[in-house]
Chains A and B, each alone.
Chain A
Amino acid sequence: MTEPNDKSRRGFLGAAAVGAAGLGVAAIAPGLHLIEVSQASAPGKGASSKVRWGMLIDTTKCASDCNACVKACNSENGISEVLKDPRQASQWIRKIDLKDAKSGITHSLPMMCQHCEHPPCVDVCPTHASMKRADGIVLVDRHTCIGCRYCMLACPYKARSFVHMTLTEQNPEVPRGQGCVESCTFCVHRVDKGQIPACVEACANAEHNAMLFGDLNDPNSAIAQRIAEVKTTQVRADLKLNVGVRYQGI
């Protein structure tokens, strides 16, 4: 599905995606944009291992009172069910507020599946339902997940949710199901069409521009260049999972 594309195709898709979203793309350097448009996949082709999709989150730009990424995620992925016990609700992305116990310095950041290179959820899944695509996106196969929740025990980021009730009003592109485990897909259905994840788009629409999505393997991509320039952090770096989501400012 995701293959390196020629420049014209990339340019067209970039313009289309940005235009459709009505985004004002901020150029931070010649040829380098704050929001990098994904490489679209050629229909019928599998994900390419040449690509490693990733995200960089600048916590200095993430506003504590902003929830745009969460709302966009819920809307995009059809997460609308209401449960009596909020602890049973699915949260593919959530806002976390941090306060340094000593200095009192605060941070706000979105947390979701970190799309690890070595995902513990994939290791422990008894049925291969938890899987990692060649392009680094970690997914759950809705057809083979038996709902054992072992992956939830194994995930160091509390990124997975178990669906506690029958669902209605689903997005046809994002199948979800009662009794299965689910998590952020990096909006794989959008990425495969050359779009960026809904949360990243919403963050830009809210004019925070705290989220950058792109190909970590492409040295010319905005995300790769930014990671080469600034100090970024992997949450629970001690586990050496080589996550796809990096944070700046914490």
Chain B
Amino acid sequence: MMIQQQTKTDDGAFYFALAVGGLISAIGIAAALYMEIMGHQVSGMNNQIFWGLPHVFGIFLIVAASGVLNVASIGSVFGKKAYKPRGPLSGLLAIVLLAAGLAIIMLDLGRADRVIIAATHVNLTSVFGWNMILYPVFFGLVGLYIWTLMDRSKNQYSKTVGTAAFIWRLVMTTGTGSIFGFIIARQAYQSAILAPMFIILSFAWGLAIFLVVQEIMYARSKMELHPQLRARMKNLLGVFIGAALYFVAVYHLTNVYYAKQFEFTHFILVSGGVFPLLFWGGFVLLGSVVPLFLLYAPGFSANKGSVTAASYLTVAGGLCLLFVFIIGGQAYPMDMFPGMQVTSSFFDGKIDSYMPSLPEILLSVGGFAIAFTMTLVGVRVLRFMPQDDVAKLQSAGYLHD
């Protein structure tokens, strides 16, 4: 089998998918506009839990955007030939996921109409302020990277630009972890481990999304991914899921060790109702243990469906983890007066609850739809389909008969 040729996909299916993606995106944007006009009183957020579902989805996409670029980096920075044909798609997804994640976060702003101020009044002591530099440069670098990967005359620069993009994405996700890592006020955050933890999480979430998109593209083009290539990538996903689990475990173990953090950790992991449920059931079991089983258990691991299911579950587990981390971290009251029972009209000392409203759900889902629609258009107009020269890979020792 030599290079597989991408067959022209069905026009009708493309336009149908485009219409559905566009419609859900438009509904999401309309929901944000509704919140903008009515105020956030129509959201489930309040003055205790002020970052809600849109932040969970938005931050997930931003973290995954950085991670999905790993696929390109492994190919052109670390020289793994099996990943090289996947570089352009990896770059496209990085741009698309970051754009969609930012769209959610920006549309949820109290004054989304003033978003330009974020660029004209940058405060460099703020991690959000850093993002005004980190994100545009990431877009630029990845755009350049895709160019060097897709234009043969510019291939020689791909390693240099790819290395710059690789380093930049590590810095960018360090920034995302530091959004929380530098928060001294709350028990859930202020931990140096959050920056590397978010980097590891990005590896797993980004690769999971890449594998899902790749399988869909192959299926739509009636192409078949070489099983050994799938096996390589699913093993990598397994390693990333395991590493993510390890970092999350260390984060919680650290908190258990600190006496002042114990009660918060008990809340998140044991007594906090929906939060322990989503942590153990969502992130640990469905988002980590089951995917690892599907990726490694004999009888499952070689199966295309198992790898795709494991990827979907990794994404779902990631959303559960962020829900617990972001919402749970706010729901637990701040310990302003240690050793005291605290009550007030502002719900001090009380564990808060959060139920996302319909506009928030629509905005969050709309963000995913924006990513879907942009990817759909991207792969339609340019050659992002990973196409493997199997004979070459075999001769290079990457594949075996």
User: What residues of chain A have their CB less than 8 Å away from a CB belonging to chain B?
Assistant: 70, 83-91, 94-102, 107, 111, 120, 122-129, 144-150, 152-158, 160-166, 177-181, 235-236, 239, 250
Contacts and interface: CB of A to CB of B under 8 A. Distances in A.
Given A96-B344, A146-B110, A250-B337, A165 B38 contact: yes
A148 B123 CA distance: 14
User: Which of under 10, 10 to 19, 20 to 34, or 35 or more describes the interface residues of B?
Assistant: 35 or more
Contacts of B123: 125-128
B250 interface: no
Interface stretch (B125-133, B166-174, B216-224, B272-280): B125-133
Given A126-B118, A128-B123, A158-B346, A91 B128 contact: no
B336 A100 contact: no
Q: Which 10 A-B pairs have the closest CB atoms?
A: A147-B110, A179-B110, A126-B128, A87-B46, A156-B185, A165-B39, A164-B41, A127-B121, A94-B346, A99-B341
26 contacts: A91-B47, A96-B348, A99-B340, A111-B336, A111-B344, A120-B184, A120-B185, A123-B126, A124-B125, A125-B123, A126-B123, A126-B129, A127-B118, A146-B110, A146-B112, A146-B115, A147-B111, A147-B112, A149-B51, A149-B110, A154-B185, A158-B336, A162-B47, A165-B41, A166-B39, A250-B337
Contacts of B127: 124
Contact of B109 (A87, A122, A146, A155): A146
Given A101-B340, A126-B123, A165-B39, A152 B47 contact: yes
A125 B126 contact: yes
Given A98-B337, A101-B340, A153 B51 contact: yes
Given A123-B126, A152-B47, A162 B343 contact: no
A203 B339 CA distance: 28
Interface of B: 36, 38-41, 45-48, 50-51, 109-112, 114-115, 117-118, 121-123, 125-129, 131-132, 179, 182-186, 189, 330, 334, 336-337, 339-348, 352
Nearest to A70: B345
B313 to A, nearest CB: 29
A97 B111 contact: no
Contacts of A149: 50-51, 110
Given A158-B334, A165-B39, A179-B110, A94 B345 contact: yes
B346 A179 contact: no
A164 B49 CA distance: 13
B352 A87 contact: yes
Given A153-B185, A178-B39, A147 B109 contact: yes
Nearest to A90: B47
B39 A150 contact: no
